[in-house]
Amino acid sequence: MGKESATSNTLTVMEKDQVSLFKLVFTHNWEDPESDHAALKIKERENIMAITSGGCNVLGFLLFNPESIYSIDINPTQSHLLELKVAAIKTLSFDEFISFSGLKESENRLAFYKKISPLLSPESKEFWDNQQKIIDQGFIMNGKYERFIILSAKFLNLLQGRKRVQGLLADKTKDAQENYFDKVWNTRRFHYLFKIMFNKRMLAKRGLVGDYFHFDDGSTSFAESFYNRSRKAFRNLPVKGNYFLALYLTGKFRNPNEVPAYLKQENYAVIKSRVDRIKIITDEAQRWLQSMPANSIDCFALSNICELMSDKDTTSLFASVLRTGKNNSRVSFRNLMIPREVPDEFRQQIIKDELLSRQIYENDRSFVYGKVAAYTIKK
């Protein structure tokens, strides 16, 4: 396919002077897709609206055979990333794709890019033509936040020792894992990591802007709050299959089976056959929703976008979610640090499933979020 088909998948492109975000913050999704799957209960031929971020979860949604996925991000570089992934999936075999991505060693990534680039829109091609270092290294774990995680993992291994890290990652019974955390892992050095690496100044440099640093969970600092969340993942959740844990502890995936769905060989052919169903949109979510017909969307994966919004904009967003959502449509919604909830005036129609939300949060493998919740729209 040529440039025309790639451009047709980019529905709205904002002018650069309207967007304050130009850095590639994420090349990986840090929202656990299993949490979204549990909240959204995606059915065949449904229409999904999702925040793009790293694009991993959007690609994984294709396995549910949706009609369309509207992938939206205010940051144009995140749209460029998903466009690159889509073009690579269309063009490359599975072995070539994981080599290009960085999951597998390769010396041919620039050659792969030359095959892929004709499918990119002019804006995306211009961006990636100037990102040859990322292309050469592979895009996996190459956003600002991912590079920070790699740095943090190196520091953690220095503080805790590689043997202790490998011990935490080893498969164990639930009791053995809890005991290992309490008796071996939970050292003063582990606490020190959060004070040094997960403070406001350090995280702001890695793409998490100052507005994130408000607290309503009893914590006095981001370091304390992040430690409490990590304790849940390190102590209470199964290690096996938790690629988020491996990334935070080692800065890389530990084996080809513990990766996002789009990087698994058994899913590749299906994703390739459906990848044109993704519509890549660069815009504010609430503004884009206002352009959509009423009762047109079945599932909303909103991540934690309301933390970047004022209360007025949050109200506007959920008014549009209610208008565009079908009866019985589903919503997944997260908080990182700033407490956000569905505005009071919509809670009789955008109804939180308290039990399911607690279950999702307790089992969420990506421990960075302070809330992961599920809602149903009733009209």
CATH of domain 3-140+260-377: 3.40.50.150
- Residue 83's closest CA among 60, 58, 107? 58
167-187: average pLDDT: 96
Q: For a pLDDT cut of 90, what percent of the chain falls above it?
A: 76
Give residue 165's pLDDT band: very low, low, confident or very high (50, 70, 90): very high
Q: Average the pLDDT over 88-95 and give the result.
A: 98
Q: Is the pLDDT of residue 14 over 50?
A: no
pLDDT reading at 74 higher than 60:
yes
pLDDT at 271 over 70: yes
CA distances (Å), 216 to each of 48, 96, 219, 225, 345, in order?
A: 31, 46, 7, 10, 22
Name the band, by pLDDT with cuts 50, 70 and 90, for residue 226.
confident
Q: What is the percent of the chain where pLDDT is above 70?
A: 88
Summarize pLDDT for 130-156 with one digit per residue, the tens.
999 999 999 999 999 899 899 989 989
The predicted pLDDT at position 337 comes to: 74
- The token pair at 318 is 């959920």
Query: Which of 359, 366, 353 is closest to 232 using CA atoms?
Result: 366
Domain chopping of the chain, boundaries = 3-140+260-377, 145-250
Q: What distances in angstroms separate CA 317 from CA 69, 230, 290, one per listed residue? A: 18, 30, 9
pLDDT bucket at 34, cuts 50 / 70 / 90 = very high
